[in-house]
Amino acid sequence: MTQTVLIADDHPMCAAALGMATEQVVPGADTVKVGTIAEAVAAAEQRRFDLILLDLMLPDVQGFAGLLMLRRLQPRATIAIVSSTDEPVVMRRAAREGASGYIPKSAPMSEMVASIRTLLGGGNAFPPEMTEPEDEAAITPSRIGELSPAQFRVLRAAADGSQNKQIAYELGIAETTVKTHFAQIFRKLGVTNRTQAILALQALDVTA
C-alpha cells in the first residue's frame, strides 16, 4: 500500500526538502503539501495519512494548537513537528502533546531522511538534546484544548492586556459573562488567577 504523507509547512524550501526526504525513504509516496492549518485540517478530514509533518509556526494557528487539532482528526497517524526552534523544552512539550518526533529545520537532509524513516517505521524521532535536564519552572500545565472558542477568545484578550470591561466591549458580551468565562477558564486549566491562566496560554507560543 502506498504511504500517505501530509506536509504542512508554509516555507516552500523547507516543504520541498521534507518532500525530497520523504521520497528518499518511500519512493512514490502519496504526498500532500499545504501551507496553513486550515488546509491541513481540510486534508485530514478528507483522507487518512500515515505521516504528518507539521510546521509548528503556521501563520493561522498558535503554538501547539495545530498539533492538537490534527491529533484529534488523525488519531492513527504519526505526527512529527517541524520547526526552526530547537529548544529542548519545546521538544518535550511536543512529545507531551502527542507528537512522535521533532525535526529541526536546521537539520541536514541526512537527518531528515533518518527521522522520516524512523517515524514511518513506527518509532519516535527526537533530537538527542531533548533529553537535557528539564527546567521545571518552564513547565506550565496546559489544558488549553479544553477551552471553548469563547473562553479562548477571552483568555487571548486578557493576554493582550485587556481588562474585563474592555474585553466585554471588544467581544460584544456582558462584563458578567467575561467573569463567568474566567471562572470556567481557571477551573479547566487548574489555575487560580488570571496571571497563571495567561502563562498557560503563553506556554503554547514558540518563537520560530
Per-residue pLDDT of the chain (208 residues; tens, 9 = 90+): 789 999 999 999 999 999 999 999 999 999 999 999 999 999 999 999 999 999 998 998 878 889 999 999 999 999 999 998 888 888 888 888 899 999 999 999 999 999 999 999 999 999 887 765 544 434 344 577 788 889 989 998 998 888 999 999 999 999 999 999 999 998 888 888 888 888 777 776 654 4
- Indicate yes or no: pTM above 0.85: no
Helices 164-171 and 175-189: crossing angle in degrees, nearest 10, is: 110
CB atoms closer than 10 angstroms to residue 1: 5
β-strands 101-104, 78-83: how paired? parallel
As a whole number of angstroms, the distance between CA 32 and CA 50 comes to 12
In the chain, which ranges are E strands? 4-8, 30-34, 51-55, 78-83, 101-104
Q: Which residue has the cell 508554509?
A: 10
